C-alpha cells in the first residue's frame, strides 16, 4: 500500500489534500501537525489516516528513518501569518524545517511536494517563476523564497524540467489566494470569502477596503483559487513523478474583491430564495460597506496578483480552474451547511 505523509495535516490545505487522497482510496497517511490549537481536530475528524504524529517529534524521527517506506511527503506545514514579525521563528519554522525535510526525503527516497507562496513575488507586477520578479514584502514571503532558492541550488539548472534521474521529485507550489472549506481555524488569515460570509450573517452587509494603490474601492485584483483546484493540481503532480520544479498555483485570472463580495452575498441571497443583485444594487441597498485602507498594511499589500501559468501548462497539466463566482457559490453553500 502507498504510504504518504501530510504535514500541516489539520490545516486548511493539508486537510483538503487528505480528503482528496481518501477519495482515491488512499488511507495509509501519516498526519503531522501541532494541535496546540485544539479545534483544528475538526478538520481531521471525518478523514481516514493511519497515524498522527506531533510536528515537534516528526522531523527528527523521519530523518532517522522512522515510519517505513514513504512514497511522497506533501509539506503544507508552515507559519502562514503574513503579519508575523518574528523573523527568527519564521525562518526556523518555514525554512530550516523544510530544508531538514528535503534532506530526509532525499535520503529516504521520498518525493517532496511542498507549499511555496505567491508572497515570494511581493512588490512585483509580474508573477512568473523567475528570480527577476521575486520581491517579497514580508518575512513570510522571504522564508518561502529562501527555500525555493535552496531547492534551485540543490536540484540544479534542470529544476524547471524533469530531473533526468538526478534526484527524487521535488515540486514547489506558489499558492495564490486560496479559499474554501476547512479554513475556519485560521482567524484573521482566513480568506476574504470566509470573513465576508460571517460578516453578512452577523451584520447583513460585507466590508471591503476602500481606494488604495490607484484602485477604486473594492477594485484591487487578486488571483483567487478554489481549494478543490489546489488539491487537483497537487494530485496531478503526484501522478507524474518525473516532473519537478516551482510552479504557480492560481487560476491565471485576476478578479476584483468586489467580485468576491457580490458572489458571497448573492449566494446567500439564493439560499434565502432571493434574486441576485448587481454590484451597484448591492451598494445601493447598503449590503456592501467600504472601509478606509488600514495604515498597518500600507506598503505591505499586493493590490494585484495574477498567476502566470505558462510553466504549469508546459508540464501538460491542463486542469480547468473555477472562477470566483463558481467557487464562492460552492463554498458558501458548504459554510451554510456547517452553520
d(CA 277, CA 18) in angstroms, rounded, equals 37
Looking at residue 78, what is its pLDDT? 86
d(CA 61, CA 56) in angstroms, rounded, equals 10
**Of how many residues is the chain composed?**
339
- Average pLDDT (118-136) is 95
Catalytically active residues are: 140, 186
Integer CA distances (angstroms), 173 to 108, 116, 119, in order: 22, 5, 12
Residue 163 has pLDDT above 60, yes or no: no
Mean pLDDT of the chain: 94
Residue 278 has pLDDT above 50, yes or no: yes
Residue 65 has pLDDT above 70, yes or no: yes
166: pLDDT confidence band, cut at 50, 70 and 90? low
298: pLDDT confidence band, cut at 50, 70 and 90? confident
User: pTM for the full model?
Assistant: 0.95
Looking at residue 158, what is its pLDDT? 53
173 Cβ contact partners less than 8 Å away, ≥ 6 residues apart: 113, 114, 115, 116, 230, 233, 234, 247, 248, 249
Per residue in 93-113, pLDDT (tens digit) is 899 999 999 999 999 999 999
Place of cell 504524529: 53
Of the chain, the percentage scoring pLDDT greater than 70 comes to: 97
176: pLDDT confidence band, cut at 50, 70 and 90? very high
- Asked if residue 312 lies in contact with residue 249, where contact means CB atoms within 8 angstroms, the answer is yes
162: pLDDT confidence band, cut at 50, 70 and 90? very low
Closest CA to 78 of 180, 233, 227, 186: 186
Amino acid at each position: 500500500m502507498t504510504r504518504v505523509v501530510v504535514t500541516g495535516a489539520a490545516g486548511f490545505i493539508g486537510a483538503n489534500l487528505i480528503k482528496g487522497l481518501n477519495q482515491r482510496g488512499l488511507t495509509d497517511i501519516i498526519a503531522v501537525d501541532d494541535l496546540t490549537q485544539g479545534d483544528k481536530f475538526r478538520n481531521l475528524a471525518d478523514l481516514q489516516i493511519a497515524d498522527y504524529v506531533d510536528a515537534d517529534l516528526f522531523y527528527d524521527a523521519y530523518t532517522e528513518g522512522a515510519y517505513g517506506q514513504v512514497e511522497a511527503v506533501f509539506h503544507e506545514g508552515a507559519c502562514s501569518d503574513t503579519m508575523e514579525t518574528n523573523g527568527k521563528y519564521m525562518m526556523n519554522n518555514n525554512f530550516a524545517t523544510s530544508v531538514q525535510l528535503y534532506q530526509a526525503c532525499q535520503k529516504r527516497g521520498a518525493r517532496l511536494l511542498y507549499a511555496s507562496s505567491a508572497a515570494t513575488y511581493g512588490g512585483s507586477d509580474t508573477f512568473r517563476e523567475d528570480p527577476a520578479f521575486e520581491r517579497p514584502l514580508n518575512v513570510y514571503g522571504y522564508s518561502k523564497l529562501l527555500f525555493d532558492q535552496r531547492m534551485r541550488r540543490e536540484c540544479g539548472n534542470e529544476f524547471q524540467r524533469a530531473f533526468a534521474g538526478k534526484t527524487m521529485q521535488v515540486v514547489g507550489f506558489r499558492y495564490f489566494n486560496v479559499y474554501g472549506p476547512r479554513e475556519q481555524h485560521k482567524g484573521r488569515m482566513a480568506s476574504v470569502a470566509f470573513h465576508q460570509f460571517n460578516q453578512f450573517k452577523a451584520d447583513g452587509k460585507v466590508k471591503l477596503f476602500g481606494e488604495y494603490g490607484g484602485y477604486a474601492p473594492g477594485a484591487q485584483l487578486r488571483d483567487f483559487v478554489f481549494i478543490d483546484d489546489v488539491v487537483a493540481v497537487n494530485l496531478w503532480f503526484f501522478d507524474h513523478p518525473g516532473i519537478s520544479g516551482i510552479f504557480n498555483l492560481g487560476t491565471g485570472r485576476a478578479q476584483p474583491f468586489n467580485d468576491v463580495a457580490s458572489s458571497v452575498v448573492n449566494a446567500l441571497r439564493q439560499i434565502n430564495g432571493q434574486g441576485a443583485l448587481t454590484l451597484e444594487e448591492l451598494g445601493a441597498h447598503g449590503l456592501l460597506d467600504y472601509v478606509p485602507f488600514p495604515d498597518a498594511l500600507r506598503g505591505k499589500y499586493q493590490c494585484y496578483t495574477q498567476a502566470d501559468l505558462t510553466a504549469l501548462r508546459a508540464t501538460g497539466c491542463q486542469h480547468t480552474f473555477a472562477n470566483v463566482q463558481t467557487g464562492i457559490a460552492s463554498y458558501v453553500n458548504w459554510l451554510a451547511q456547517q452553520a
